[in-house]
Structure formats: structure tokens, C-alpha cells
Structure 1
Amino acid sequence: MVEEAIKPEDLNITDETKPKTVRSDGEEDEQPEEGEIVGDVDTLSSSSSSRPGTAVVQHPLEHSWTFWFDNPSAKAKQAAWGSSMRPIYTFSTVEEFWSLYNNIHRPSKLAPGADFYCFKNKIEPKWEDPVCANGGKWTMTFQKSKSDICWLYTLLAMIGEQFDHGDDICGAVVNVRARQEKISLWTKNAANESAQVSIGKQWKEFLDYNDTIGFIFHDDAKKLDRGAKNKYTV
């Protein structure tokens, strides 16, 4: 568990409580290019978690997590799905997460076709990954450029171990498309209905999301593609 847990009530984090990237002239820095991380993560983490004369305090997460990025321009040139996907950075503390999060684009700033992932370290965000193979995913749909806050809250609930069946969670992905954005929560044991339904219900509560969401098995998605039907709904 996180030494100082990221609780659901802590998800409403204001700009004043989050570290920012500031230039030497005092102005807030521009957003980086897609998938790019600006500055040295260790330096950013240290500056955001300490004051002069005090020791740097790190708050370890229960799991290490890796951000992955699939660039739409690179995807268009590749024949095999997933061949353009690349890991960006792995973090294992609260401080590292904020340093990364504040130096990468929000979903609303990514180009249509981009996919941005956050998965437990050592798990690749692919159906073929042994941990994901027997799993599935819950999906929420948002209007264009409206998923930023829900993406952040999903990450905080996930890395802060707020789910009762958190061990079943593999990671999350935001898919940016021309007309809408989707956030999906991947799990590893699709056949365990009670665990999946619990995860779906809690996810909706954390995000205050009122629409019905559905859970699709990865096996069905592989076989039926867009014809795959929801096995569970909440």
C-alpha cells in the first residue's frame, strides 16, 4: 500500500497541491511533444517533494507502473498492431508519478489515433501478454477533449490501490479519436464476474460517471472485433 494512501477524497487535487514545471523566468512551461517527458525525472521528483534544508521524502507505491505510448503517425506505418507501442517511463513512488504526469500531454492535447497506457510494470498492454490473456476491459466513453479529469482520477484510484479487487487490475488506457475519447480499465481474470462487477461499480463511483458501462472479454474482442458484446454491465 502507499505509505500515505491516495484516498478517493484526495482525488480532487487542486493546482496548488501539485508540482508544476516552471521556467527560469517564472512562467509555467509549455506542454511537451506527444509522449515526451521534459527534464530529468529524478531532479523533478526531488524538487517537488523537498524544501531547502530538509531530506527528500519518497512515498512508495505498492506496485511499479509503466506509461506506454502508441503514436498515431507511427501506427499508420506499421502492419502489425502494437509494433509501434513503446514504454515511456516506469515509476514507483507518488513523487515520480506527479513529476511524470505534469510533464506529459493530457488526452485532450494528443493527436487523434493516439493511445496512452498506464500498466503495472512487466505487463505489456496487449491481449497476448500472459497476464492479460484471460482478461477483459471496462470502457467509458467521453465527448472529444472531455476525458482529462477522469483519466487522472482513474490513474490515482488505480495506483493508489483504491479498488477492492486491485490485484485483478492490469492497467488503463485512454484512446483518443477524432470524435470521442475512451478510457478502458483492463483486468486479468474476466471469468470472475463478482470481481469484475465490483471493479466496474467502484470505478464509476470514483469518477462520478452516470452512464452504463460494459465489460468485454479480450477473447471475444480478438475473435469478433467490433462485434464483441458486453458480458457484464453496471
Structure 2
Amino acid sequence: MATAEMEKTTTFDEAEKVKLNANEADDEVEEGEIVEETDDTTSYLSKEIATKHPLEHSWTFWFDNPVEKSKQDAWGSSLRNVYTFSTVEDFWGAYNNIHHPSKLVVGADLHCFKHKIEPKWEDPVCANGGTWKMSFSKGKSDTSWLYTLLAMIGHQFDHEDEICGAVVSVRGKGEKISLWTKNAANETAQVSIGKQWKQFLDYSGSVGFIFHDDAKRLDRNAKNRYTV
């Protein structure tokens, strides 16, 4: 197996095990196969179901609904806080009940950011940062979005403290995933993040990094400062 594929299968594997174990435990309870065996068995099962596995940070899903957008409104006025989670189980509960990118309407943006960081250039934590961006054909970003989320919340990046969050943007011509970071001028950290992100997703194309300051001043004319 290639290194990149191994990264994928092992990234956050404990989360998958927790999910599977929880499902198996639910099945056992519903079928009544072990509930009556012994008090110790029942107690152990109850603890397994009740136990949650905390993440390093709390994270918040945000949704930018294109239906609510207006050219007269200030950017970000249609952003809505959807759900905050801090455990493996709560992440899967949210992820499995939120539309994946391929099911979102054109113009929608789905964000996942560290708790108390708003997905806005103006946020104090994001103000001096920038974004790495990957492009995908329409309806083809679902798996990459999931792997991006798992890498972030599973603190898989060497410079994890630099990560603010990620955004998947659905547009008419395709989809883009953006990875937001804190300190754009820290070239060593940003290049490391970009390379690791490509590896986690086994992404074969080039990935560019744009400073937020450049994006604010130049809009679509902003150029990549770093490329991997």
C-alpha cells in the first residue's frame, strides 16, 4: 500500500473503531443478547456506551446559505453557527446529519473552524493568515472534505496550532476546499501544512497559498505566495 493511502486508512482510525463499537453495542442491547447475562457485563456495556472520547479542541460547523445572500448585505451576514462538537462521537453525529458537499446547493459554503474562531478575514485569529486551496470537479469533493476534517480535528498536522479551519465551497463549475491558517508570513509552517494536506488527500494537482491581505486588496487578482 502506498504511503498516502496508509495515511488515509490510519488517520483517525480510533474514531472509526469508536463508531463501530458503539453501533455493535447498540445492536447487542436491542437484541437482548447480553443484558441478562450478569450485572458486571451490563455495567461494562453501559460504560462503553456512555464513554465519549474528547478531541484536542472544540470545533464549530458554520453554514453560509446562498438563499440568504444579497449583494447589498455585508459579507458574512448570512453565516450561521450550526453545531459545536468536542468529542469523536459528537463529530460523527454531526457529520452524518449534515449534507455532504455533493448534496449542497450551488453557492453554499460549509465551514468547520476551531471553536470561537469565526470563518471571516476580520476575525483576530485569522486576520494575518491565509488559505491553501484545492479544486475539484462538481460532486467530487466529498471524500477529500471528510479527510480534511479528520486531519484537522485529529491534529495530524505538524503545525496544528496554525490551523484555523476549513471551508468547502460549492459553485457552478465545481467545488473548492480551503484550509485557513493563522500566520501567513510563517513560510516554513505554511509549506509544511500544504505538503501534508496534499499527502493526506493524495491530491495530485498543485496547491496554492494566498494571503488574506492580498485577497482583500486584489480579490480574484491575488496571486499565490506559496505553491506545493
Q: TM-score range by the shorter chain?
A: 0.7 to 0.9
What is the CA–CA distance in structure 2 between the aligned matches of 1:123 and 1:181, rounded to whole Å?
23
Q: Who is 1:158 aligned against?
A: 152
What does 1:64-75 correspond to in 2, within 5 Å? 64-75=58-69
2:136 is aligned with 1:142: yes
What is the Cα deviation at residue 76 of structure 1? 3.0
2:150 is aligned with 1:119: no
The count of aligned residue pairs is 201
| C-alpha distance after superposition, 1:38-89 (max 9, x if no partner) | xxxxxxxxx7595443211211000000000000100137511100101100
What is the CA–CA distance in structure 1 between the aligned matches of 2:140 and 2:198, rounded to whole Å?
16
What is the CA–CA distance in structure 2 between the aligned matches of 1:8 and 1:174, rounded to whole Å?
19
2:204 is aligned with 1:228: no
TM-score normalized with structure 2 length: 0.83
Against the structure 1 CA distance between its residues 69 and 48, is the aligned structure 2 distance closer, same or farther, given a 3 Å change threshold? farther
SS of 2:117 mapped into structure 1 = coil
Instruction: Specify which of 117, 122, 127 is matched with residue 128 of structure 1.
Output: 122
2:10 is aligned with 1:10: yes
State whether residues 59 and 95 of structure 1, in contact with CA within 8 Å, keep that contact through their aligned partners in structure 2: yes
Q: Who is 2:186 aligned against?
A: 192
Q: Who is 1:24 aligned against?
A: none
SS of 2:125 mapped into structure 1 = coil
What is the CA–CA distance in structure 2 between the aligned matches of 1:185 and 1:9, rounded to whole Å?
21
What does 1:8-47 correspond to in 2, within 5 Å? 8-11=8-11
State whether residues 78 and 84 of structure 1, in contact with CA within 8 Å, keep that contact through their aligned partners in structure 2: no
Q: Which amino acid aligns with 1:59?
A: H
State whether residues 49 and 58 of structure 1, in contact with CA within 8 Å, keep that contact through their aligned partners in structure 2: no
Q: Who is 1:3 aligned against?
A: none
Query: Larger radius of gyration, structure 1 or 2?
Result: 2
2:49 is aligned with 1:79: no
SS of 1:183 mapped into structure 2 = strand
State whether residues 12 and 151 of structure 2, in contact with CA within 8 Å, keep that contact through their aligned partners in structure 1: no
Q: Which amino acid aligns with 1:189?
A: N
What is the Cα deviation at residue 18 of structure 1? 8.5
CA RMSD between the two structures: 2.2
State whether residues 48 and 95 of structure 1, in contact with CA within 8 Å, keep that contact through their aligned partners in structure 2: no
What is the Cα deviation at residue 164 of structure 1? 0.1
Structure 2, unaligned runs of 5 or more: 1-6, 30-41
Structure 1, unaligned runs of 5 or more: 1-6, 21-46
| C-alpha distance after superposition, 1:115-151 (max 9, x if no partner) | 0000000000000000000000000000000000000
